[in-house]
Amino acid sequence: MKIINDFKNKKVLVLGLAMSGYSASKLLLKLGAEVIVNDFQDLTHDKQAIELSSLGVEIVSGGHPLSLLDDSVDYIIKNPGIPYTNPLIKKAQDKAIPILTEIELAYLINESSIIAITGTNGKTTTTKMVEAVLKHNREKGQVYASGNIGVPASTTAQKVTSEDDTVMEVSSFQLMGIQSFKPSIAVITNIYSAHLDYHKTRKEYVLAKLAITKNHTESDYLVYNADQSELTELVLNESRAQLIPFSRKKKLFKGVWIENQNILFNSEIIMNVQDIILPGKHNLENILAAIAVAKIKGVTNETIQFVFKQFKGVPHRMQYVDEINTRLFYNDSKATNTLATIHALDGFDKPVILIAGGMDRGDSYEELIPALRNHVKALITFGETAEKIAVIGKEVNLPKIKQLTTVSESVQQAYKWSEEEDVILLSPASASWDQYKTFEERGEDFIKAVSELKSE
């Protein structure tokens, strides 16, 4: 890591603990800062807070007192989940106290090449794809995945060298506060409307995503989805990077596209679409983006072919689980809204038995109607939204619909209804919090149920 003096003997307020705040605090101590951690939750018994306190960090928890912002505070490191409308942040802005994000702090000490990936959908999957393709047969250095994927950027930034690559998933929350952060390669998978409870307007959300390229120069690269006209226009007008488009729908003359079932990069055939085992049109878009990054980094076609012939997906995101008597089981527990479930269903040409349901957040499920009509042969629902989703199934006259209580029961019923070559898909279109702590826990329950079914 680069040793910098920006924070030496400076008083830094870390606003929000969590994983990123914990990692940032430890890094700031290394850099010679005086650190205060403030969190709205009570941290009296928090293990990380207790450890930081033993290292000399002042812990203030149970609220965000404005009195913290006396004239001695030099910097704030803000947790991405805390909005800029927070009174403490607004007061800091009034006092002209620099407010940095954790990825900005990580960037200041980072020595590796950074590939940063953002977008409304597909960030995590594309990040894992790029990580996999850059790792395979690598001769020098290491590949580190970090950021919004679960490992704080300030953790990996302390390990990396100039021979390494950091593949960083970054959210709109993280990008909104960047100042000097500049990845050598940036990827925007797509832009839809999301997180408007945080950003308030779609314009603010889109501008936050576009910040990934705001510091780019002609020596950097921006990979973007050319099938989105709005995104294309934005990057053409705003980015100074070398633009590398990708398209699933049309022929390009530069970048990555599909022609006669072949994936091409700048007119060079890379691989055949039929060799990819991961289903879904959206996943194909993610693969095109990852191939663009791989080619920029000089990865061979043989390596790209090997990786995508093997890549089965990220856990709980269109994850292939198993095959039982020619029935294919997929775990898409991360699909916590209708759009994600529509994407999942659109990825299959085979008949699907859909398992859906979960916490009722007042959503309407009418958007599912075309996808149910086109892809689903039977519907099994569970959880708080079981009845609401079943009603939508009845609207499209699905021949088999059943409301059950658990995921395990749903797997058993789906198999009873299935025929050879059917797909049995968990894609809930609902949050998990009615029965599970996380969507990961729900997905693991599905995987366990499939395993038990197979053992029978």
Q: What are phi and psi of 271, to 5 degrees?
A: -165, 170
124 is in an annotated binding site: yes
381 is in an annotated binding site: no
331 is in an annotated binding site: no
122 is in an annotated binding site: yes
128 is in an annotated binding site: no
Beta-carbon count within 10 A of 137 CB: 12
Q: Which residues are annotated as a binding site?
A: 119-125
Q: Which residues are annotated as a binding site for ATP?
A: 119-125
